[in-house]
């Protein structure tokens, strides 16, 4: 279900605004109405970047038509600034991770015309483009906003299927990381040799996260381009992406170890096996350093799996094997929760002043009623 968002307009008002802008682009009266309406909305609540860009472009076009000064430098600078801010505003939210991505690759992901990216580069680092070229850029940018923002917002039911992209699986990246890390742990001489491959894996994860944020934006807001300044929206998108990642990490054979390993490590200790920590902690700490809510999200997903762990079991297991695996898997997930709590810094997990106590209490409440044997006897 699409979550409600606080905006300053009704659907009919947005459609009216769209008609003022696009029905007759040469009509200065309608353009003035659109500028005034957008300015009024902006005084009530921050505008999505698409509408903020629309307002900037319309204002520059109006100033261009009213300009009687033979010098065009100030108008060219205004056009260039509007285009630069428009491109940056869509690209920057997807520039997540420790490794930077090219603006061209993100623009391709968004469907932005690449020549606008080139014009942005020229206006930033070279001579400001000609007035004719900037006017054409303004015209095409407004056209792109019409197809990629206004139409999906005004007609979400018909646009939803085409505007919401599919999320790329993160499982191959996790598999590659696990394979590389295992090899590095088994043979220390390979660490320097595989360092480049591991950095490439981290870059792949950064690209996946950026793409997943775009999908989250589409799922939550109904439009892949509505980057609102509302922090609540950003938090929801981040939580959605982190939950997707956590679900993949909790697939059988990753953080919950394989059946053979888990069944050989049934003990009453609360500590994770050192080999398990050495295998996964670099990736988990890397993600946590970029996204401080990650450990909290993973802890909560572990608790969720402990309440409904049938998703982790192998359907080909016998009843006895499944019960043994459930008990061992419970221990594995519980140990991960305790490791995450012990490793976390409470001040980085916003809204949880006593996170350690809350999570451990939730762990006990989740497991104790459901298990007569197993973790309720384990020392926490």
| pLDDT tens, residue by residue, 112-145 | 877 888 888 888 888 888 888 888 889 889 988 9
Q: Token pair of 75, please?
A: 């108008």
Q: Token pair of 347, please?
A: 């001040």
Q: Token pair of 305, please?
A: 């799996």
pLDDT of residue 133: 87
Q: In this predicted structure, which of 26-35, 181-190, 315-324, 325-334 has the lowest mean pLDDT?
A: 315-324
pLDDT digits 0-9 by tens, 340-355: 888 875 445 444 545 5
pLDDT of residue 302: 82
Alpha helices in 24-146 (DSSP H): 28-44, 49-66, 73-91, 103-110, 114-125, 131-145
The strand ranges marked E within the chain are none
Cα-based distances in Å from 156 to 150, 173, 218, 221 = 10, 33, 11, 10
Question: Comparing 96 with 41, which gets the higher pLDDT?
Answer: 41
pTM above 0.85, yes or no: no
- What confidence category does residue 51 fall into, taking pLDDT thresholds of 50, 70 and 90? very high
- What confidence category does residue 308 fall into, taking pLDDT thresholds of 50, 70 and 90? low
Q: Residue 379: which residues within 8 A CB-CB, separation 6 or more?
A: 268, 269, 270
pLDDT of residue 99: 58
* Contact (Cβ atoms closer than 8 angstroms) between residue 224 and residue 93: no
What mean pLDDT, rounded, does the chain reach? 76
pLDDT surpassing 70 at residue 332: yes
Residues 82-96 have a mean pLDDT of 82
pLDDT surpassing 60 at residue 27: yes
* Contact (Cβ atoms closer than 8 angstroms) between residue 189 and residue 182: no
Q: 3-class DSSP state for residue 171? A: helix
Residues 103-111 have a mean pLDDT of 75
Residues 216-227 have a mean pLDDT of 58
pLDDT of residue 364: 63
Residues 144-162 have a mean pLDDT of 74
pLDDT surpassing 50 at residue 272: yes
């Amino acid at each position: 279900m699409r979550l409600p968002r606080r905006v300053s307009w009704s659907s009919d008002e947005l459609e009216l605004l769209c008609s003022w802008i696009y029905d007759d682009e040469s009509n200065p009266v309608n353009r003035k109405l659109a500028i005034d309406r957008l300015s009024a909305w902006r005084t009530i609540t921050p505008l999505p970047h698409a509408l903020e860009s629309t307002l900037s472009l319309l204002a520059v076009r109006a100033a261009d038509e009213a300009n009687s000064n033979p010098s065009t430098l100030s108008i060219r600078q205004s056009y260039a600034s509007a285009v630069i801010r428009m491109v940056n505003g869509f690209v920057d939210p997807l520039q997540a991770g420790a490794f930077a991505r090219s603006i061209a690759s993100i623009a391709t992901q968004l469907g932005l015309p690449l020549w606008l990216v080139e014009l942005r580069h020229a206006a930033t680092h070279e001579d400001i483009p000609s007035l004719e070229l900037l006017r054409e850029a303004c015209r095409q940018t407004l056209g792109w906003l019409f197809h990629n923002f206004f139409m999906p917002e005004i007609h979400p039911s018909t646009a939803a299927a085409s505007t919401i992209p599919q999320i790329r699986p993160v499982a191959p990246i996790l598999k590659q990381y696990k394979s590389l890390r295992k090899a590095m742990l088994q043979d220390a001489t390979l660490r320097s040799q595989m360092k480049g491959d591991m950095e490439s894996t981290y870059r792949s994860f950064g690209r996946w996260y950026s793409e997943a944020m775009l999908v989250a934006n589409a799922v939550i807001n109904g439009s892949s381009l509505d980057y609102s300044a509302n922090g609540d929206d950003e938090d929801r998108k981040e939580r959605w992406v982190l939950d997707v990642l956590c679900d993949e990490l909790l697939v059988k054979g990753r953080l919950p170890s394989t059946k053979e390993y888990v069944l050989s490590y049934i003990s009453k200790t609360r500590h994770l096996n050192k080999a398990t920590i050495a295998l996964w902690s670099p990736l988990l700490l890397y993600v946590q350093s970029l996204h401080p809510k990650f450990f909290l999200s993973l802890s909560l997903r572990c608790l969720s799996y402990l309440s409904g762990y049938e998703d982790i079991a192998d359907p080909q297991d016998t009843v006895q094997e499944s019960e043994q695996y459930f008990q061992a898997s419970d221990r594995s997930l519980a140990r991960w929760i305790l490791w995450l709590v012990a490793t976390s810094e409470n001040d980085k997990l916003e809204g949880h002043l006593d996170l350690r106590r809350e999570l451990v209490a939730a762990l006990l409440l989740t497991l104790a009623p459901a298990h007569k044997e197993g973790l309720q006897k384990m020392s926490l």
